[in-house]
Amino acid sequence: MTVITEPRPASGGSAAAPKPRYRVTGRRVLRSESTKLWSLRSTWITLGLGLLFLVAFGIIAALRYRSSVNSGRQLDPDFADATTLSLSLFGVALSQLALGVLGVLVSAGEYSTGQIRSTLAAVPRRLPVLWSKASVYGVVALAIALVGAFVTFLIDSGILSSTPAALTISSTGVVRSLLGATVYLGLVGVIGVALGAMLRSVAGAISALVGALMLLPGLVSLLPVSWRHAIQQFLPSEAGQSMYSLHQAPHTLSPGIGFLVFAGWTALALAGAAWRLSRSDA
């Protein structure tokens, strides 16, 4: 006689539940990039430096101007037409380097460590990674610039209240200029992310960033005057400066046109990064 037995389910009579399958969504990619950004010590240090440069140099410039006025000696040429606004934004040139360099580290840093392979394996479509990195860091850089610009102006307006450079937050064009500086620094951070993703080298992307923002204007200044006036106003740094200038100098763009030109440079950098990311392996 043959005895046939039926197999019994192990332990408790219930089959093992299948593992949940997670879908890649835009919100999850954003959350992942935000977590990676804030988990790095370099993020806190570099953001702190960006804020410190913006606030400290703005206050130092205001104190130096007030000291010159109180002493009765002739003002330096750099301070001849200074206003509370221009003095409070004195640190933008250094702050842009800190925020731009951190943008480079956000994207190119993953290539140097090899972490980008894990990132792209989790998000095979690739481009959402770039958009998320640029969006997350762009918002962070924008917030840092907003706080730094307005806090520095409010402090400087108290320091310079009784001087020829005095302005208040309600003066014509002040809020627009402070917001222009905020947007400019936020977009510089996005350009840093784009250059890092496009060049995939921290050193190379930082060199390109510094060259575009600081060295290129110097080279263009060597051109004949007619050429210089035609070209210089469309450079990234010059277009960005027109976004937060209180009064427009000759041969410079209006704030609105300056914003469109600088936004165009930002879009061009992102397009180059998107093309490289979609066409070549990590």
116-171 pLDDT tens trace: 788 777 877 888 888 999 999 999 999 999 999 999 999 999 999 888 888 999 99
d(CA 116, CA 201): 13
Judge whether 101 lies within some domain: yes
d(CA 158, CA 167): 9
Judge whether 5 lies within some domain: no
Judge whether 185 lies within some domain: yes
40-66 pLDDT tens trace: 888 899 999 999 999 999 999 999 888
d(CA 238, CA 276): 27
Model confidence at 193: pLDDT above 70 = yes
Judge whether 3 lies within some domain: no
Q: State the total domains in the chain.
A: 1
Range of the domain at 69: 27-277
Could you tell me the sign of the dihedral formed by the alpha carbons of 89, 90, 91, 92, in that order?
positive
Alpha helix ranges (H) inside the chain: 26-38, 41-71, 84-88, 92-113, 115-122, 127-159, 174-199, 202-210, 216-220, 225-232, 236-244, 255-279
d(CA 26, CA 128): 7
pTM of the model: 0.87
